[in-house]
Structure 1
Amino acid sequence: MADHAGHCSSSSQDRRSHFLVAAYGYQGHLNPALALARRLARPHGGGARVTLSVAASAHARMFPSSPPGQLVVAPPDAEVSDGIISYVPYSDGFDFGARPRTAADRARRRRVSAASLSAIVRRLAAAGRPVTCVVSALLLPAADVAVEHGIPLAVFWNQSAATLAAYYHYFHGHEHLVAAAAAAYVGGADDPASVTLPGLPPLRVRDLPSFLVDATGGEHARASIDSMRALLEIVGREKPMVLVNTIDMLEPEAVALRAMRQQHLEVFAVGPMLPRLQLLQQTDAAGDDEGRRIDLYEQDDEKGYTEWLDARPRRSVVYVSYGSMLGYSRQQVQEMLRGLRECRRPYLWVVPRDGRDGDVERCLMEMDDDDGDGERGMVMEWCDQLKVLAHPSTGCFVTHCGWNSMLEALVFGVPMVAVPNWSDQPVNAHLVEELGVGVRAERDAAGLLVGTELAKFIAVVTGDGDEGMNIRNRASFWNQIL
């Protein structure tokens, strides 16, 4: 990281280098960006000055100045420091937590974000701390600002290298190949392992980033493709350093990225961007902030679920979480519950408040009554996922297969049941299978994970058969490597 950091600053390699790391205000973006910022600020990482900037609504949750339930957004010139890095909010035009819904909303967010980040760059320069490198954590307006101000740009890719390669080559000459395969798949053909992109093994349509093969015409997919296309056009034109949250050994075929490097792109594996268990323990025991994570959601009583885990046998608990963005239908909750009961193992299930409508809430309340107040299972709104995965009683992770969650499971050696939904998750689920650290669950034609199928896959991962033992051994191997 030291060599990469010095190169990005370009003008000098002294301690006055100043990195502005800019990220979306989403849970899955913040912690990798924070980990990268802290590594850049360490003495052996260059000892650089680092400012982390996230959307004002997320900044307000990170540094609350108001009673619970209220959101007071800090003024745009507010700055907080933990003694290692500084935190400055930018405005994205949706400072009180709303999300853009239309193309006009998204255009406004890009415009307002760019203007706010530009103001931050000017303000830091006026304060004698000029930014020498902008690090865009997939935040397109940050890349715009770097180009506008003539500041060296680095892109922090917080998804897998395979996903980066798929997007890059899709936008650089292979769009028709992917579109033809997706059209054939939608038309009823078997899902062929014949979509071959430079630097990647043959992939089935279902293993590609979902936005590249979306057949619904959904607004979210179109917007995501437009944003990614614009960002990778900047990458192709400006040739910034691209820092990928992975390791060479994890993705040997993708991380080599020979085809991208042949385009004179500098691509480096810098992951995994998360604290190890030792850092978590140091943080708790000594107040060391090296293992700090960001939670935008209020956790349930940590003592309560930790004591519940403590009371369960080693490697017995099925931990279920689909991340912070995915909601559930009542039917899916009922199927999940059926599967968790059928597997006859204790389970810890995270269902965020944002994913609970009235029907889902009633279903979960009925479940609590039926399961004896948490004796068989516990449902939470949010938890410290790293501590749950690190706990000796956790034996299986049913996951949406977001890249952060997958890396965390690998670090702590927890085998997975992958239930991908969208974005990069299908690519990650494919990698889970290829690494032999879990199985991929299949949804039905309506997109529903049927309870009997969930129970079957949990039984494979946790059972005494050869497949289950091999999966657990492979998961343990990655725990030692990472």
Structure 2
Amino acid sequence: MGMAEPKILLVTVPAQGHINPSLQLAKRLIRYGVHVTFMTAASAFNRMNKTSTTTQGLSYATFSDYDQGFNRRTADLNHYMAELRRCGSQALRELILETRFDCVVYSVMLPWVAAVAREFHIPATFLWNQPASVFNIYYQSFKGYEKVIENGVEDPSFVMELPGLPPLCRHDLPSFYIPPNPLAFVIPTMKEHFEILDEETNPKVLVNTIDELESEAMEAVAKYNLVGIGPLMPSNPNETSFGGDIFKDWIQAS
């Protein structure tokens, strides 16, 4: 009797910059004989430029948000994120009860995925789809360097010294730190990510980088096991076997 096929649930936030790298990770895992269930919000899934052929080793699942579309200009973003958490958590629990998963991988802005996975004693791994340097900035901002970053935000000429990073100025920070920030939920959600990671011993974080390029930034986050898996992008720009483009139809119709 052969070994059961490993099954991984990959949950990503419904945004193009998260869907594409997540699909690239899924593609790599499938090559190693892993079955991947790709889960995102129905609003994004319904717009994805999915291929007509079935990809062996890949299946899809969705959770409800604004299934018919989401208008950033008129929607209440805080309400949207709260609904994303509520509906997503419920759908995730139902899916886990139906299907055996060996591991859950979740993207940025979805810390509740890790909490649900723990309810079922399933290992959860955080996927960071940006460079390690950006991860390090957020990490240091919650680990004793809050005042340094506050000074940098208030004074454009102030030079910030953070572990594992070159000297930084205000324009080097993630835009979510710079007022006015319409996405006020981002920083608290990032903090929640780190709080969840801190509950584990040496948790593994998959980072969209190459170790040799950002070794200092990765070593500065010694509390976590940062694993470079980048670049999470197609080796062939014309490769479309996985689809994933949620804006293609909109662009072609414009």
> Percent identical across equivalent pairs?
34
Task: Give the CA deviation at 1:227.
Answer: 1.3
2:208·2:229 contact (CA, 8 Å) conserved in 1? yes
Q: Which amino acid aligns with 2:105?
A: V
Please name the residue that 2:198 is paired with. Answer: 236
Given candidates 91, 96, 103, the residue that maps to 2:78 is: 103
Q: Which residue of 2 aligns with 1:215?
A: 179
- Where do residues 106-121 of structure 1 align in structure 2 (5 Å cutoff)? 106-121=81-96
Amino acid at match of 1:215: P
1:250 corresponds in structure 2 to 213
Residue number in structure 2 paired with 1:90: 63
| Corresponding pairs, count | 245
Q: TM-score normalized by structure 2?
A: 0.87
What does residue range 461-480 of structure 1 map to in structure 2 within 5 Å? none
Give per-residue Cα distances to partners, 1:386-418, cap 9 Å, x unaligned: xxxxxxxxxxxxxxxxxxxxxxxxxxxxxxxxx
- TM-superposed CA distance for 1:237, in Å, is 1.9
Flag the 1:201–1:113 CA change in 2: closer, same or farther, 3 A.
same
For 2:137 and 2:147, locate their aligned partners in 1 and report how far apart those are by CA, in whole Å. 13
Misfit runs of 4+, over 3 Å = none
Alpha-carbon distance between aligned partners in 2 of 1:198 and 1:37, rounded to the nearest angstrom: 32
8 Å CA contact retained: 1:174, 1:197: yes
* Matching residue's letter, 2:169: R
What is residue 229 of structure 2 aligned with on the other side? 270
What SS does the corresponding residue of 1:296 show, helix, strand or coil?
A: coil
Q: Distance in 1 between matches of 2:226 and 2:29?
A: 17
TM-score, normalised relative to structure 1: 0.47
1:145-224 alignment to 2 at 5 Å?
Answer: 145-185=116-156, 191-192=157-158, 194-212=159-177, 214-216=178-180, 218-220=181-183, 222-224=184-186
The partner residue of 1:42 within 31, 39, 44 is: 31
**Given that residues 48 and 247 in structure 2 are in contact (C-alpha distance below 8 angstroms), is that contact kept between their aligned partners in structure 1?**
no
Deviation of 1:83 after TM superposition, in Å, equals 1.4
Query: Cα gap change, 1:381/1:144 in structure 2, threshold over 3 Å: closer, same or farther?
Result: farther
Corresponding residue for residue 13 of structure 2: 24
Residue 215 of structure 1 and its aligned partner are, at CA, apart by: 2.5
Deviation by residue 1:222-261 (Cα, 9 ceiling, x = unmatched):
211111111121122234310001112333432xx22212
Equivalent AA in structure 2 for residue 270 of structure 1: I
Partner Cα separation in structure 2 for residue 63 and residue 381 of structure 1? 14
Partners of 1:24 and 1:199 lie apart in 2 by: 28
**Contact map agreement 2:49 2:243 (CA 8 A) in 1:** no
Structure 2 segments unaligned to the other structure (5+ residues): none
1:31-55 deviations in whole A, cap 9, x for unaligned?
A: 1100101111113xxx122111111
Counting helix residues as a fraction of each chain, which structure ranks higher? 1
In the alignment, is the contact (CA less than 8 A) between 1:240 and 1:266 conserved in 2? yes
Structure 2 counterparts to residues 360-371 of structure 1, below 5 A: none
Structure 1 residues 162 and 381: CA distance shift in structure 2, 3 A: farther
Q: Kindly indicate whether the alpha-carbon contact (under 8 Å) linking 2:49 and 2:248 is maintained by their aligned counterparts in 1.
A: no
Kept in 2, the 8 Å contact 1:143–1:153? The answer is yes
Q: 1:141 to 1:94 in 2, by over 3 A?
A: farther
Residue aligning to 1:59? 45
Gaps (5+ residues) in structure 1? 1-13, 65-79, 125-129, 186-190, 300-351, 354-379, 383-482
Structure of higher RCO (CA pairs closer than 8 Å, 6+ residues apart): 2
The aligned amino acid for 1:119 is E
TM-superposed CA distance for 1:15, in Å, is 4.8
- In the alignment, which residue of structure 2 is the partner of 1:479? none
Give the structure 1 partner of residue 104 of structure 2: 134
Counterpart Cα distance in 1 of 2:90 and 2:81: 14
The two structures, once aligned, show a CA RMSD in angstroms of: 2.4
Quote the residue 2:248 is aligned against.
298
Distance 1:81 1:149, change over 3 A: farther
What code does the residue aligned with 2:219 have?
R
Letter in 1 for 2:68: F
Q: In the aligned structure 2, how far is the partner of 1:272 from the partner of 1:208? A: 22
* Alpha-carbon contact 2:14-2:41 (below 8 Å) kept: yes
Q: Residues 389-428 of structure 1 correspond to what in structure 2 (within 5 A)?
A: none
How big is the shift at 1:205? 1.3
- The 1:31/1:103 distance shift into structure 2, 3 A limit, reads closer
Describe the shift of the 1:60–1:142 C-alpha distance in structure 2 as closer, same or farther (beyond 3 A): same
- 1:119-170 per-residue CA deviation (whole Å, 9 max, x = no partner) reads 111121xxxxx11111001122322222222210111100111100000111
C-alpha separation in 1, matches of 2:186 and 2:143: 17
Q: Distance in 1 between matches of 2:228 and 2:207?
A: 5
1:30 Cα offset (Å): 0.9
